[in-house]
Homo-oligomer: A and B are copies of this chain.
Amino acid sequence: MTGATRNSDKWVLVTGGAGYIGSHAVAELIDSGYKCVVVDNFSNSCYEPIARLQVLSKTEIPFFKVDLMDGPALEKVFEQYKIDSVIHFAGLKAVGESTKIPLTYYHNNITGTVVLLETMKKFGTYKLVFSSSATVYGDATRFPDMIPIPEECPTGPTNPYGKTKLAIEEILEDLHTSDPEKWRFAVLRYFNPIGAHPSGLIGEDPLGIPNNLLPSMAQVAVKRREKLFVFGNDYNSRDGTPIRDYIHVVDLAKGHIAALKYLDQVNDNQGLYRAWNLGSGTGSTVLEVYKAFCQTCSIDLPYEIVGRRAGDVLNLTAKPDRATKELKWSTHFKVADACADLWNWTTNNPFGYQLLGVVDTFFGTPNEYESRLVTIGRGSGFEVSLSNLGASIVDLKVDGKSVTLSLANESEYLDDRNPYLGATVGRYANRLRGGKFSIAGAEYQLDLNESGAAVHSSSSSYHKRHFLGPLVINPSKNRYTAKFVLLDTNTQFPGDVLTKVTYEIDVQAKELTIEYEGELLSGEATIMNLTNHTYFNLNTFQDTGYDGTNVKILSDQVVEVDSKGCATGKITKVPDVSALTLAKNGPQFDTCFVTGSKPSIDTRKNSLKTVLQAYHPESGVKLTISTTEPSFQFYTKGPGFLEEYGERLGFCCEPGRFIDAANISEWKSAVTLTKEEVYGSKISYKFD
């Protein structure tokens, strides 16, 4: 992201944006056209929802791991992004815990907010939407006529958590009073948020034992917990259990957009401090919600009635009229919708964001959350490490040993001598004669790499681009998908393109499948050819070379090239290459073999065809490469780069369209992507 973008646009800072409500608000903000910067200290969350939201929304979401109590760290965010307004979710939120460690609650919630406000003031940011809670009302049944609860209901929180929320409301009110023309504060008092994003990709993922009804039921449903505890059935309600106002988290998230718009519409030099209830106005008992959820998942969940919980009250139902009238906001979803979305989230993510055998670390430069490294299959016999820099395969381990060449850190991957190691290659892989091509009558000239050609897109190459994501899911046992997205805009190519790279990993079958997809977002047409540039070395590094690797190429035709390595337009037959043995001092290849599959812009309609088999007798590792593509570049000349690694040799098999197809009229349609089409292809690496 460029400095100009960061400073010229208006950004919404979302504190606690990796949390349950925060992440849903980020989704709605992006959906409504806002640009979001997220800060979170991960005290009860993780980066995963942000990565997922980036892929889901196809939008970069700058993220900073910042504790709000760390003023200097927060200031750095404000220095980098011109923050127009803040939605402040960050805070500890467990009622029970707050009674046990009140100091921690007061320190985090109050000091965190005060530091945030001080920082906002310093940078001239005066709009804030605050995540408050109906807890500030305490037991509204102590008054004769305060159910449903209006905003005028006197406050009286009964636990430290609620007191911190009320204290913060008062701080905001006092601050507004101190400088009433500047500050604009919207205080949103939430009732009981439930449910999850309809995508099934983000939802509530409490650390430890959940405190709330819905996550507890969900965990019982997936057998993470034995049974549900219902705290008291001797309340004066229709079934004896307490009444709460449950609100779908997406409705709640939309309330923040409404509040933000309200703040934006306040006249200049006219501040605001105002509180709104965000609730449905309809109360449900615990047992009613229990029944709705059981119906959704078609399971009679075991439950036990136990004693009342200290501090629980009979009825907390919102009177949401003020929000309806002033914010033009009301709830759309019902409890049943929330149950369905929760169940969708739960079944797709039975352990929340945590996936068995998936670990992530960060390359560490300069904002580590731009530079992710995810390893899937840790502890299994097949381990795939993917970086969002170039959506690259950083490592493939078979039975614990690496079979690909890799580098140590992101700066080495960004080194100009890096020969696309493991990277996604695009927008146009392989050679392009003179770096030239024409589309819709217009001529284009790319920068040149060498000897008068543009190779692998030259300066527009994907291998140095940060893809969004990955979105990692575990749709069934032993199977994972990791999805990356790139907004490929402002390059030397015509048109903006959305590129998706999806890795499917089957750790039991030891198979990695890559699916490429490209869509034109603007312009009439562009050229496209995507592949992966992994260097394989199957001797599992007992030697740094590939000597002794047996390779069987299932093709006897190649794309003929001239002295510059560019296509002449002819396909020619070659001698038998079905029993090669690679050797550093043997014959070398840089050859575009033809697979026989039909070329087209989307080859995914072709079936996967095995095109190359490789086997190293010492390690016993066998690799079978299949693809839907019409050709593949077989390359044995590399890489011999970065002296500190010595001479490490790997071979490449890069399935794709015919070399230089953009400049050969009969082949050109297979690399020309128009608005009506989708680019597509698949590659599979299978190990035995």
Binding site for B on A (CB under 8 A): 98-103, 106-107, 110-111, 114-115, 117-118, 121, 159-160, 163, 167, 170-171, 174-175, 177-178
Contact = CB atoms under 8 A, between A and B. Distances in A.
A106 B171 contact: yes
A174 B99 contact: yes
Contacts of A177: 99, 102
A161 to B, nearest CB: 10
Nearest to A172: B102
A4 B332 CA distance: 70
Taking the full assembly, how many copies of this chain does it contain?
Answer: 2
A100 B176 CA distance: 10
B110 A175 contact: no
Contacts of A178: 99-102, 160
B101 A107 contact: no
23 contacts: A98-B174, A99-B178, A101-B178, A102-B171, A102-B175, A102-B177, A103-B114, A103-B118, A103-B171, A103-B175, A106-B114, A106-B171, A106-B174, A107-B115, A107-B118, A110-B110, A110-B114, A110-B167, A111-B114, A159-B174, A160-B171, A163-B174, A167-B167
Contacts of A167: 110, 163, 167
A90 to B, nearest CB: 16
Contacts of A114: 103, 106-107, 110-111
A116 to B, nearest CB: 10
B107 A121 contact: no
Contacts of A174: 98-99, 102, 106, 159-160, 163
A528 to B, nearest CB: 54
Nearest to A161: B174
Given A103-B175, A159-B174, A163-B170, 19 more contacts: A100-B178, A101-B178, A102-B178, A103-B114, A103-B117, A106-B110, A106-B114, A106-B171, A107-B111, A107-B115, A107-B118, A110-B110, A110-B167, A111-B111, A160-B171, A160-B174, A160-B178, A163-B167, A163-B174
Contacts of A115: 107
A-B pairs, top 6 by smallest CB distance, nearest first, are A102-B174, A160-B174, A111-B111, A107-B114, A106-B171, A106-B114
A175 B171 CA distance: 21
Nearest to A117: B103
A680 to B, nearest CB: 55
Nearest to A179: B100
A174 B115 CA distance: 23
Contacts of A118: 103, 107
Contacts of A99: 174, 177-178
Contacts of A121: 103
Contacts of A111: 107, 110-111, 114
A664 to B, nearest CB: 68
Contacts of A103: 114, 117-118, 121, 171, 175
